[in-house]
A = this chain, B = another copy of it.
Amino acid sequence: MWQCQGVSRTVAPAGAVRQGSLRELNLALVLDRIAAAARPPSRADLAARTGLTRATVSAVVEDLIAGRLVSEADPTPRNGAGRPARGLVLAGDGPAGLGLEANVDYLAACVVDLAGRVRHHTVLRADLRPLAPADALARLVGLAAAARADAADQGLTLAGAALAVPGLVDDAGLVRLAPNLGWRDVDVPALLAGHPPLTERVDGVPALVVDNEANLAALGELHAGVAGPASFLHISGEVGIGAGIMLDGTLFRGARGWSGEIGHIPVQPDGRPCRCGGRGCLEQYAGQEAVLLAAGLAGADLPADTAAARLTELAEAGDRATLDALAEAGTALGVTVAGVVNLLDLDTVVLGGGYAPLAPWLRPPVLAEVSRRVLTAAWSPVTVRPAVLGSEAAVVGAAGSVVRRILARPAGWLAHRR
């Protein structure tokens, strides 16, 4: 169940606040409360929860219903004496978000509706490394067009798109470095400019956001339907190791959007040389290639998800070398994670990506290191758990990030429809 990105704290507004701003803000407030409700709330419930009068809530809800953002739920349960309440839910036939992903050996497209349901999901297996970025993106545009058509058949309108890539992406969508794709300074928006638009244009929702895969996977995990903390460290273990840092439902992005490169935190300062130019990086101890090497599988050249499956099989079969390799990787990971927890005060660590199927073996050493080294572990233990979502986390997170923006500013969508 997606919600918009947190709530406004006490800060100065970004610009003039006008008469019309009232309705815009209250549209967002009411929509957010509907999204966050455990059961479909009535207008009277919403009035009580928001502090707005029932008259105002009725007017706001009327707009939301007219704009296909909200619908009345049925049937209505009986509550004893009094007029029956009409529950309100997010509509499944209005706007939706388009998520896209370009990863080492697959392209993916996904449509998530306002209520958070995945309404379309396509994966195209392909080795992207030999492809020029423009060619890879052209194929992705094909996937996007098919997704858009399918969504339209289902009565949905795509309101914006987000693309997940495994690398450093700045705020303008420039992919500064994605080593696993072989991309360097790839201007994705510019390369896509010659193609037809991916979605409708909606005020307040960017046509395309390009974001780091680990960040979007963390976002997907946040909304995966499990009630859990809104603050956690989500680690995607692949060839590279990326992290999404989630605090109170908001992604920490860093000064330029390049945060989360946990795989290049030194775990042994004078240790193994790393492709980044440093020594002793976590990636050299807990990254996919390091684990395969330690397990005696070096040179197998397995695709990313096959590598994790292979390691899982061997571990389940009790293969000594594999178990030892995972223990060593888990210990290195745990040392790094403990430091990160001391620095960032996050009390949940989610093992995602290639680490998710390996969690039974990685979790014990991570927990041991965390328990030993985290200052606050004695009175506030750290949870380490596998991710709920699998390889679809990033593309679902990407689509969901669009939904989040619509929910944060429903007035933009309503203006588009008029």
List the interface of chain A (C-beta within 8 A of B): 4-19, 21-22, 25-26, 28-29, 31-32, 50-52, 168, 176-177, 204, 229, 231, 243, 245, 247-248, 252-262, 264-269, 276-279, 281, 331-332, 335-336, 338-340, 342-347, 372-373, 375-376, 379-380, 405, 407-409
Q: Which one of A17, A336, A340, A407 has the highest number of Cβ atoms from chain B below 10 Å of its Cβ?
A: A17
On whether A11 and B5 interact (CB within 8 A), knowing A255-B247, A261-B375, A343-B265, the answer reads yes
With contacts A256-B345, A258-B345, A345-B253 taken as known, whether A52 is within 8 angstroms of B379 at the C-beta atoms is no
Please, could you name 11 A-B residue pairs with CB atoms under 8 Å apart, sorted by A? A8-B11, A11-B28, A16-B51, A21-B22, A255-B346, A258-B375, A259-B343, A264-B342, A265-B342, A266-B336, A278-B373
Contact call B254/A247, Cβ cutoff below 8 A:
yes
Known: A256-B347, A264-B375. 6 other contacts (CB 8 A): A8-B12, A229-B255, A258-B375, A259-B344, A264-B339, A269-B332
- Is the CB–CB distance between A338 and B278 below 8 Å? yes
Q: What's the nearest-Cβ distance from chain B to residue A25, in Å?
A: 4
Residues of chain B within 8 A of A177, CB atoms compared: 375-376
CB distance B247 to A11 under 8 Å? no
**In the complex, which of the residues A9, A11, A14, A332 has the most CB atoms of chain B within 10 Å of its own CB atom?**
A11
- Among B19, B21, B265, the residue within 8 A (CB) of A339 is B265
Listed residue (A12, A22, A346, A373) with the most chain B CB atoms within 10 angstroms of its CB:
A12
Q: Which residues of the other chain, B, contact A380 by a CB distance below 8 angstroms?
A: 256
Flag if B17 contacts A29 (CB, 8 Å): yes
B11 touches A254 (CB 8 A): no
A169 smallest CB distance to B (angstroms): 11
With A12-B28, A16-B52, A31-B12 already in contact, the answer to whether A346 and B254 are too (CB < 8 A) is: yes
Contacts of A176 in B (CB 8 A): 376, 379
Chain B residue at smallest Cβ distance from A378 = B277
**A375 cross-chain contacts in B, Cβ below 8 A:** 168, 177, 258, 261, 264, 276
In the complex, chain B residues whose CB is within 8 Å of the CB of A267: 266, 269
